[in-house]
Amino acid sequence: MLNAKITGTGSYLPKKIVTNKDFEATLDTSDEWIYARTGIRKRHVIAEDESASSMAEIAANKAIQAAGINASDIDLIIVGTSSPDRVFPSTACLLQNKLGARGCASFDVQAACSGFIYALGIANQFIRAGGAKKALVIGTEANSRILDYSDRSTCVIFGDGAGAVVIEASEEPGILSTHMHSDGQYQDLLYINNPIKDQKQWGDEAYMTMHGNDVYKVAVKTLSRIVDETLEANNMAKSDVDWLIPHQANIRIIASVAKKLNMPMEKVVLTIENQGNTSAASVPLALDQAVRDGRIKKGDTVLMEAFGGGFVWGSALVKM
Ligand code: UT7
């Protein structure tokens, strides 16, 4: 059976930066509180003429260039996002048109902050089963469009951005395994109502709501479990993992997963301080940064993990 290998990465961050200090003018918050509780100092925010698909386009083009292929070679596009341009067509379909990847399959995955890991898992299965040869997998989030900027418990946490990978069928080892889980009993701890009008069941307010402390506790336990599951599935020891690329939700959650792996923080790719939590985009943004600055090299074993609203969580173990 063929493997699915990451052959190119790309990412995009909007120009505008909002610092913790900027929030002090409008909210009862402080740089000290935000940094101490989350590890975040600043985040990027999209301009009026940008969107999930426009950020995805820039990230995708960089990944395509890095892979040395053409957009027309792509036969599958999967986008993980919770802040799509439209309810439908999917952001993947809008991206397909922007890239000119005519006729290929394209769809979005709604798995909150785990959207990229889920999309990667699905694309991996497609390639291994022979259903695609060159896939584009994206995480892109226009979080600023779904935040209530008077709610200090969410608006200081999240940022905008996009990350992309090209994965291709290969004889070499690539994605070693992916793991996906969910537990909908936690649906009221982290959610956004549907902006479709007259939703009597849920209400009309379509902003992100998060009961952060409850989410935190489940996230720490769950991510610790998925590290074990991923290593066991591959018959690997903790010391076999070269890099951890965690979802960038909270530096304290990240540190606890690193500790579980006996991994020094120098081996953890961190973007949270400068990017905040970019939901489905956080893992591919961090991956691209570490590939482009030369930290992650061909042959390295990388563990990616994410956790988000649902709850949904997942991991991927990848030989680069
Ligand atoms: O990406 C998807 C998955 N998401 C996560 O994994 C997020 C997990 N949760 C977290 O990262 C943390 O729970 C937060 C960073 C969101 C919050 O940190 P916390 O240490 O859990 O704080 P808390 O929610 O327990 O709130 C402590 C206090 C509260 O005040 P009282 O009730 O003690 O008086 C909050 O009202 O901090 C208050 N607070 C703030 N104070 C200043 C909440 N937000 C802020 C703020 N500035 N921005």
Any ligand 1 atom below 6 A from CB of 149: no
Q: Where in the chain is the domain with CATH 3.40.47.10?
A: 3-171, 176-319
Helix/strand/coil for 297: coil
Q: What is the pLDDT of residue 287?
A: 98
The answer on pLDDT for 155 being more than 80 is yes
* H or E element at residue 98: helix 91-99
Ligand 1: centre distance to CA 153 (Å): 6
Our answer to whether residue 155 is catalytic in this structure is no
- pLDDT of 64-123, one tens digit each? 999 999 999 999 999 999 999 999 999 999 999 999 998 999 999 999 999 999 999 999
Measured CA to CA, the distance from residue 205 to residue 112 in angstroms comes to 18
Measured CA to CA, the distance from residue 219 to residue 236 in angstroms comes to 23
The pLDDT of 1-6, averaged and rounded, is: 92
Our answer to whether residue 277 is catalytic in this structure is yes
Mutate to test the pocket of ligand 1, among 216, 248, 257, 273 (most ligand atoms within 8 A of CB): 216
The answer on pLDDT for 199 being more than 70 is no
Ligand 1: centre distance to CA 212 (Å): 5
Characterize the bridge pairing of strands 312-319 and 175-182: antiparallel
- pLDDT of 128-154, one tens digit each? 999 999 999 999 999 999 999 999 999
Of 307, 316, 108, 124, the C-alpha closest to 217 is: 307
**Ligand 1 atom 47 nearest Cα:** 29
Ligand 1: centre distance to CA 167 (Å): 37
| 3-171 homologous superfamily | Thiolase/Chalcone synthase (3.40.47.10)
The answer on pLDDT for 250 being more than 70 is yes
Mutate to test the pocket of ligand 1, among 21, 30, 37, 223 (most ligand atoms within 8 A of CB): 37
Q: What is the pLDDT of residue 206?
A: 82
DSSP state of 266: G
pTM above 0.75, yes or no: yes
Of 24-38, 95-109, 157-171, 194-208, the one with minimum mean pLDDT is 194-208
DSSP state of 277: B
Given the CA of residue 156, which atom of ligand 1 is nearest to it? Answer: 48
- pLDDT of 159-185, one tens digit each? 999 999 999 999 999 999 999 999 999
The answer on pLDDT for 1 being more than 90 is no
Using omega within 30 degrees of 0 as the cis cutoff, is the peptide bond preceding 89 cis? yes
Confidence of residue 305 (pLDDT cuts 50, 70, 90): very high
Any ligand 1 atom below 6 A from CB of 316: no
> Do 259 and 246 touch, CB atoms closer than 8 A?
no
The CATH fold assigned to 176-319 is Peroxisomal Thiolase; Chain A, domain 1 (3.40.47)
Confidence of residue 226 (pLDDT cuts 50, 70, 90): very high
Candidates 20, 143, 250, 277; catalytic one: 277
**Ligand 1 atom 30 nearest Cα:** 153
Percentage of the chain exceeding pLDDT 70: 98
Helix/strand/coil for 280: helix
Residue 252: HSE in the Cβ half-sphere, 13 Å Cα cutoff: 13
C-alpha distances in angstroms, 4 versus 122, 134, 238, 280? Answer: 11, 9, 23, 20
Residue type, 50: E
The pLDDT of 253-262, averaged and rounded, is: 94
Which tokens belong to 268?
């953890």
Q: What is the pLDDT of residue 194?
A: 82
